[in-house]
């Protein structure tokens, strides 16, 4: 079968041990992203299956109608808004998804929190430029760590924060609050209390129609002037432009962001990069070798399972 893997930014898929699972297939890999419909069709027109890396490529009805050979989309991780599931059903394209542990994303979130508190990247740059200490940092121990959402990664974030001596507090859907309580974590009394009292807020929601624009300008305005807002989930969870404006106004005082509305950002700058009180990283939360082995390994297993049983 012809397998196409787009968006391998790090040119790393062939170096993964799990890549051998595709040994009996013909595989074409692209290391860049294209978004023009004709370019996508040119890449996918001979594909029996496409392996998608998270939400890096959108699958639309307009695309699928021009891919009559396509039988399977094997998704690394969970399916989100980037795949038109109704269109897949209409065109007879099966979609299979997998999952990773989420640990890598939780760890990256903790790295961003610690780096923000200690202004770590600025201090490293100062030393590279021949300067010495420039900031008086803060510790995580004793801080109130707000975790917005209590899925797998949200729970891991609470556990990691607790290990550093922080005091995790959860906000989210009633089911999330109930789960957090069962797990022994505190929950906020109200949405307003959550945003106004936490020293750090880490967003750990899944993007859906219900959660898009979940964090509003009004929410951010409630945050303390020395609070830190961290988003390693999805940019669209925050009302467009709200975080930029909030940081300009000083509530919250600092942010660390790993996700953006349009990715990849190559040759252009996101407005948040121009703010001195925002730490930006290039969506590397899940980009970790063990995680990739799990994500791609499952995606490749799904391909073999599907075609082993294909009529």
Strand-strand pairing, 254-257 and 94-97:
unpaired
CB 306 within 8 A of CB 96: yes
In angstroms, the CA 74 to CA 86 distance is 16
Q: Is 234 a catalytic residue?
A: yes
With CA atoms as reference, report the closest residue to 160 among 171, 173, 147. Answer: 147
Tokens 């294209």 belong to residue: 34
Alpha helices (H) along 45-190: 61-64, 85-90, 103-118, 120-128, 152-163, 174-182
Q: Is 97 a catalytic residue?
A: no
Q: Is 293 a catalytic residue?
A: no
Catalytic residue selected from 119, 251, 283, 288: 283
Tokens 């948040």 belong to residue: 272
With CA atoms as reference, report the closest residue to 157 among 107, 205, 115. Answer: 107
The DSSP 8-state label assigned to residue 207 in this structure reads: P
Catalytic residue selected from 97, 107, 122, 263: 263
Catalytic residue selected from 54, 55, 155, 234: 234
What is the full DSSP assignment across 220-245? HHTS-TT-EEEE-S-GGGB-TTHHHH
Backbone angles phi, psi at 84, to 5 degrees: -80, 95
3-state secondary structure of 155: helix
Strand-strand pairing, 167-171 and 186-187:
parallel
Catalytic residues: 234, 263, 283
């Amino acid at each position: 079968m012809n397998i196409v893997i787009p968006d391998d930014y790090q040119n790393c898929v062939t170096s993964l041990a799990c890549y051998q699972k595709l040994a009996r297939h013909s595989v074409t890999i692209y290391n860049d992203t294209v978004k023009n419909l004709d370019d996508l069709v040119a890449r996918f027109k001979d594909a029996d299956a496409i392996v998608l890396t998270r939400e890096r490529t959108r699958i639309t009805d307009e695309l699928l109608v021009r891919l009559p050979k396509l039988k399977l989309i094997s998704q690394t991780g969970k399916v989100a808004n980037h795949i038109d599931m109704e269109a897949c059903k209409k065109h007879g394209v099966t979609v299979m998804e997998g999952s990773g542990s989420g640990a890598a994303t939780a760890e990256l979130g903790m790295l961003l929190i610690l780096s923000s508190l200690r202004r770590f990247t600025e201090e490293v740059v100062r030393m590279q430029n021949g300067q010495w200490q420039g900031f008086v940092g803060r510790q995580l121990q004793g801080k109130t760590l707000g975790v917005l959402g209590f899925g797998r990664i949200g729970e891991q974030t609470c556990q990691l924060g607790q290990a550093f001596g922080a005091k995790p507090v959860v906000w989210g859907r009633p089911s999330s609050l109930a789960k957090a309580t069962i797990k022994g974590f505190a929950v906020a009394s109200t949405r307003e209390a959550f945003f106004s009292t936490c020293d750090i807020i880490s967003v750990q929601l899944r993007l859906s129609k219900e959660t898009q624009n979940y964090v509003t300008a009004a929410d951010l305005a409630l945050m303390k002037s020395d609070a830190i807002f961290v988003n390693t989930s999805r940019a669209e969870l925050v009302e467009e432009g709200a975080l930029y404006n909030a940081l300009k106004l000083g509530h919250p005082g600092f942010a660390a962001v790993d996700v953006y509305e349009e990715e990849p950002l190559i040759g252009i700058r996101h407005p948040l990069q121009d703010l001195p009180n925002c730490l930006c990283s290039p969506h590397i939360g899940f980009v970790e070798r063990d995680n990739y082995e799990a994500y791609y390994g499952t995606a490749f297993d799904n391909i073999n399972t599907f075609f082993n049983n294909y009529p």
